[in-house]
Amino acid sequence: MGTQDPTKLLLAATVGFAFGLLVAPRSGEETRARLREQADEAKLRMRSAKDELRRQSSETKEELKSAAETVRQGGREATEAVKGGAQRAKRTVQRKTEETE
């Protein structure tokens, strides 16, 4: 299974919790204890999902920075190549002009 969407994870936890309450009713004290346990578990899952999301976004940020630098370098190289070609063409035109004079 791929990465989990935190919203889906929270929704699944909520649905599971509600279903559990409907299927197995308990005393108020037991229900509150179970609610606390499930809330703590949900917090842990959400914290884990948040940490994973931060890790992935950090990796993506670094990949994007690297890709942007590659594009910038390619642009610089293309610019230099065009400048070099333009200078060679200018010299050729000047040389041909001088030869015809």
H-helix segments, the chain: 6-23, 28-100
HSE (side-chain half, CA atoms, 13 Å) at 77: 6
How confident is the prediction for the chain on average, in pLDDT?
A: 85
CB-based contact 45:9 (threshold 8 Å): yes
The predicted structure's pLDDT at residue 40:
92
Position of tokens 């929270």? Answer: 10
Question: What's the farthest any 2 CA atoms get from each other in the chain?
Answer: 108
Q: What is the pLDDT of residues 58-94, one digit of tens each?
A: 999 999 999 999 999 999 999 999 999 999 999 999 9
The predicted structure's pLDDT at residue 18:
75
Is residue 2 pLDDT above 60, yes or no?
Answer: no
Q: Domain extents for the chain?
A: 6-100
